[in-house]
Amino acid sequence: MAARQPLRVLCLAGFRQSERGFREKTGALRKALRGRADLVCLSGPHPIVDVAGLEGAGPESGPCPPEEQLRGWWFSEQDADIFSALKEPTVCRGLEEALGTVAQALNKLGPFDGLLGFSQGAALAALVCALSQAGDPRFPLPRFIILISGFCPRGLGLQESILQGPLSLPSLHVFGDTDRVIPSQESMQLASRFTGAITLTHSGGHFIPAAAPQRQAYLKFLDQFAE
């Protein structure tokens, strides 16, 4: 009997996460899914200056390595590199570049069985799936999606209507009861856009849970796609 091939999952980082930081944040999940899924991490295209990190930095500190550069997918203000998930934005600056980054990764690093997104990355992953279902040729429809601390992105203009659902692909929505960054009702609203959505709650806050109870839920969800 041939060994089962791991599922390949493209994972979209949250806002203000570097590629290395996101790999570290998903380390426990990667260990929990070893042999079942390979996680390929992707951070946003837009660098973010870490003002706090610049304090006390001298000229000899040197440039930040690319994999340690904090990044985001898009910004909610025209003149500031900030993002607020819970307020109606004035713009979605950089969103098209974000979509282009995901499309390029799908094309060059794929094929992938599924998408996983955390926080702003989860909102983007949901939008990618909606665009795919609407026929956007840049985005092949994944077999499944996992959204952690997700929310419905606001202020997308014409694109916002496609997120009204229903989105028909299998989905797992993970969120914390004490998440103060993305309140659980935001994640529940996003889950309501998906037909047959499965929800997984935990008692913690804004992070990617991978303890034993969550591990079993991830594996149960993913096993339906194993070949």
Contact (CB, 8 A) for 183 and 207: no
136 phi, psi to nearest 5 deg: -65, 120
Place of tokens 């390595």: 65
Q: At residue 49, what is the residue type? A: V
Pairwise CA distance, residues 168 & 202, whole Å: 25
Question: Residues for the chain: how many in total?
Answer: 227
Pairwise CA distance, residues 143 & 111, whole Å: 11
Q: Quick check: helix, strand or coil at residue 152?
A: coil
Q: If you write DSSP's letter for every residue of 31-67 in order, what string do you get? A: HHTTTTEEEEEE--SEE---HHHHTT--GGG-PPPGG
Known catalytic residues are 119, 179, 206
The residues near 151 (Cβ < 8 Å, ≥ 6 apart) are 85, 86, 119, 122, 123, 182, 186, 187, 189, 190
